[in-house]
Structure 1
Amino acid sequence: MSIICAQETGLTAEEYIACVGQSALGPTRPLSNTERVQAYLDSSNIIVTARDTNGTLVGLFRGMTDWNWVCYCADLAVAESYQGKGIGGTLMDKAAEVLGPGVTIALLSLPGAEGFYKKIGLTQTDAAFYRDRTHRS
């Protein structure tokens, strides 16, 4: 099995929903609202995808960055049937390559996924804060 990771533009909500819906991230995203998903994809300024040899989206990194200091990783997802093959780490590495050495990648982990992020070399901190959104769908 060969997986190709590359920066990509024009990712569709339908592809995103099909992939993320097969990951632990799925229940935390508004996958039934295609219009909202497409809007946040269109507003993201870095998307790195993992595709199998058939072109099927099997994983993705989605972020927002200033290209000089920090990139917030909003999504790092790999379809369940492709997990355990190093795709998540490869997506993170490819995103770091695209961003360049002066840009930090920051993210909020789903509970239970902290071990994965430690395994791929991210540093954990207890100083993360967020303000929850006012609408959920």
Structure 2
Amino acid sequence: MSIICAQETGLTAEEYVACVGQSALGPTRPLGNTERVQAMLDNSNLVVTARDDSGRLVGLFRGMTDWNWICYCADMAVVENSQGQGIGRILMDKATEILGPGCTIVLLALPGAEGFYKAIGLTQTSAAFYRDRTHRT
């Protein structure tokens, strides 16, 4: 099976849900709310997909970037039955190629996924901070 990896526009919420729902990332995303998922996609300016020979979406990278300094990878998912084939590395490499040499990719890994990101060449830091979406001042 060959994998075709490319930047895409117009990815649908239904395709996103089908892919992410079959990955470890699924339980952490609002997959039951396709309107919200579509808004997430519409407001992302870099979507890289991995599709198999049949055109089925087997992985994705969703990011927001200024194209010059930083790209925040909001989602990196590979469907469970396609994992272990290098698809995650291919997605990260394609996103890096599209962004060019002046742009850094940052992400928050799911607990337990740190080893994968180290293995594909990302540097781990202990200086990440976030404010949870439920936090209200």
TM > 0.5 fold call: yes
Number of the residue aligned with 1:9: 9
* 2:102 matched residue in structure 1: 102
Cα-to-partner distance string for 1:22-55 (whole Å, 9 max, x where unaligned): 0000000000000000001000000000000111
Q: Which residue of 2 aligns with 1:24?
A: 24
**Deviation by residue 1:6-36 (Cα, 9 ceiling, x = unmatched):** 0000000000000000000000000000000
1:118-137 maps to which residues of 2 (within 5 A)?
Answer: 118-134=118-134
Structure 1: gaps (5+ residues): none
Which stretches of structure 1, 4 residues or longer, exceed 3 Å deviation after superposition? none
TM-score (norm 2): 0.97
> In the TM superposition, what is the alpha-carbon distance from 1:134 to its structure 2 partner?
2.3
Q: How does 1:46-61 map to 2 (within 5 A)?
A: 46-61=46-61
Report the 3-state secondary structure (helix = DSSP H, G, I; strand = E; otherwise coil) of the residue aligned with 1:106.
strand
Which residue matches 2:65?
A: 65
Q: Secondary structure at the match of 1:30?
A: coil
Cα RMSD for the two superposed structures: 0.8
Q: Percent identity?
A: 82
Does the residue aligned with 2:81 lie in a helix, a strand or coil? helix
**1:62-119: per-residue Cα shift (whole Å, max 9, x none)?**
0000000000000000000000000000000000000000000000000000000000
SS of the aligned residue for 2:128 comes to coil
d(CA) in 2 for partners of 1:82 and 1:130? 31
Structure 2: tracts of 5 or more residues without a match: none
Structure 2 counterpart of 1:8, which letter?
E
Partner of 1:92: 92
How many aligned residue pairs are there?
135
Give the alignment's TM-score, normalised by structure 1: 0.97
CA distance in 1 between partners of 2:96 and 2:8 (Å): 14
